[in-house]
Amino acid sequence: MWAHRHVVVGVSGGIACYKSCHLVRRLSEAGATVDVVMTEGAAEFVRPLTFEALSGRPVLTSLWQPGSALQHIRLAQRPDLLVVAPATAHLLARVAQGLGDDILTTLLLARTAPTLLAPAMNDEMYANPATQDNLRILGERGLAFVGPEAGALAEGPSERPGRMSEPEVILAHAARLLNRGTALAGRRVVVTAGPTREPLDPVRVITNRSSGKMGYRLAEAAWERGAEVTLISGPTSLAAPHGVTIARVETTAEMEAAVRAALPGADVLIMAAAPADYRPESDAGTKRPRAEGALKVTLTATTDILEATRPTRKPGAVMVGFALETGEAEPKGRAKLERKQLDMIVVNDALEPGAGFEVDTNRVVILERGGGRHEVPLADKRLVAEAILDRVEARLGR
């Protein structure tokens, strides 16, 4: 989403400046054009040359910089987004008072682009009523904030907010701010992800190879597009995407109950999980020793969550299923699309290299009700998630 975007990153003088280097690098690598504007204090922590090397563009540090007359006005009004990281207590106070006494505050005074501030300071400074008043004033004027977080500060650990958010968190909030006008903005999206586990006994389970990566990338991307996202996750080792409400479940029955509870208010359901298709007919109360010899287990089918929750769907909501097959994937997927009364189904083949479980990539075909077909070539799962959400937004916009 950052390709062809113009982002101005303002950097004020705090120890968190080193994180801003990572932020600028990530934006540049993602395809954005990045201009950096630094205060005099920021240049004491990180030299302008560092940001010039990371962005590939000249860095503004002064209103009196030769060859840059009125550049602060152009940068205030032309970019897609302004991000200030770190935003120190001193900077927040000056901006709240409407001062324009250096290159960065003057730029912010003339801004017309959406603006995201990432506060960073000592925890006592952040808690000070003056700082809180300044934050309230700036929020009422339409500026957005990310963080600060609790954690280690330059002077030691703290359990109170003050630490600047990490670059990846700032990027997620920046993306969400840019996506305020998309079809998903303000919509309620429910995503399921990962496997489920059906217990054989207190120790052993029946499960599958799903890592949950596809569902987590979908939840992450939907939140960045402005949606309110609930992620219903089976057991995985993945970190919860920022901003997403997560409900953790173990069995297919638990996942069904969570979907059933969330579905009446959902504008979109994306069933990216791989629930176990079978469970033991009975769950042994104790572990059976291997010394007892062969073990025979009678399996029974679990509930089909999409079919079981059909009556609870919100009228007009977009229903998206997944079909992981081994051979004849598209015909099987098309049959599931019709049988489960879905709007879309995402089909892939578990036997195709790089497109099954436990990998970071996928290749899918999106089949739509009414005959639509959209092929997504092998790509990182985040890019595949974006392609799927493009089709969801197209259906929401109809």
pLDDT score of 159: 77
Greatest CA separation found in the chain? 85
- Three-class secondary structure of residue 334 per DSSP: helix
Task: Compute φ and ψ for 19, nearest 5 degrees.
Answer: -70, -30
Catalytic residue among 128, 208, 348, 362: 208
pLDDT of residue 268: 96
Q: Three-class SS of residue 26?
A: helix
Closest CA to 109 of 131, 138, 76: 76
With beta carbons less than 8 A apart as the criterion, state whether 277 and 195 touch: no
Distance CA 393, CA 267 (A): 11
208 is catalytic: yes
Closest CA to 279 of 193, 357, 196: 196
What is the pLDDT at residue 282? 80
Amino acid identity of residue 321, one-letter, is: G
pLDDT, residue 69, reads 67
Measured distance CA(118)–CA(76) in Å, rounded: 18
**Phi and psi angles of residue 274, each rounded to the nearest 5 degrees, phi first:** -120, 75
Cα-Cα-Cα-Cα torsion 259, 264, 265, 267, nearest 10 degrees, comes to 80
In the chain, what are the domains? Answer: 6-178 (3.40.50.1950), 188-396 (3.40.50.10300)
Look up residue 211 and give its amino acid.
Answer: S
Give me the phi and psi of 181, to 5 degrees please: -100, 10
Task: Identify each DSSP E strand in the chain by its residue range.
Answer: 6-11, 33-38, 81-87, 115-119, 144-145, 149-150, 161-163, 188-193, 198-199, 205-206, 228-233, 245-248, 268-271, 278-280, 299-301, 318-325, 344-349, 361-368, 373-380
Q: pLDDT tens digits for the chain (398 residues)?
A: 788 899 999 999 999 999 999 999 999 998 999 999 999 999 999 999 999 999 999 999 988 877 766 777 777 778 999 999 999 999 999 999 999 889 899 999 988 889 999 999 998 999 999 999 999 999 999 999 998 988 777 777 777 888 899 999 999 999 999 888 789 989 999 999 999 999 988 888 889 888 999 999 999 999 999 999 999 999 999 999 989 999 999 999 999 999 999 999 999 999 999 999 999 888 777 887 888 888 888 889 998 999 888 889 999 899 999 988 887 888 898 999 999 999 999 998 878 887 777 788 889 999 999 888 999 998 999 999 999 999 999 998 75
